[in-house]
Structure 1
Amino acid sequence: MNTYDRKAAEVRRLLEAGAHPVVPAELAARAVELGLRMLHRRRVVRRALWLLLAAAAIAFLVWASMARPWVVPPSTVTPPVEGLRG
């Protein structure tokens, strides 16, 4: 017997027992409230992460426009002088 069969048998046994446990009347309201809080928290976190990503992209663009990393820096070594033989 695999795990699924054992769980199904346990559920079947509980349902056939007849007596259901008493649950508080406000349980559904509390579950809805908790779910709404979780959704709100996820929405706030998602917006904060998008804002952080946008700020990082803007900071990168400002840095790239100021530093110009694609431009080759000027050479600090002078080329040798040729053609002057004394």
Structure 2
Amino acid sequence: MNAPDFEPAEDPGPTRRPGSPLRLVLAVAMILAGLVWIGQGLGILTAGRSFMIGDPTWAVIGAVFVVVGLAMAVRKRAVS
């Protein structure tokens, strides 16, 4: 019996899947929240009363949120 001839499949190249709109919405929300927290932590945003105002810890947490949000937004754009 002869083995059937198989042709190699074409290489589809890098596959791209659409990014989730939820990921982009979450990224934008994280960036905005991070900016508010930076402002409160540095004492720039002082409207109302909050335990976060003037506490530099919240500026650092806000900066982390901004960086993670930007990374999510850039990754979403690169994947889609």
TM-score by length of 1: 0.32
Between 1 and 2, higher relative CO (CA 8 Å, sep ≥ 6) is seen in 2
Between Structure 1 and Structure 2, the one with more helix by share is 1
Largest Rg, 1 or 2: 1
TM-score by length of 2: 0.34
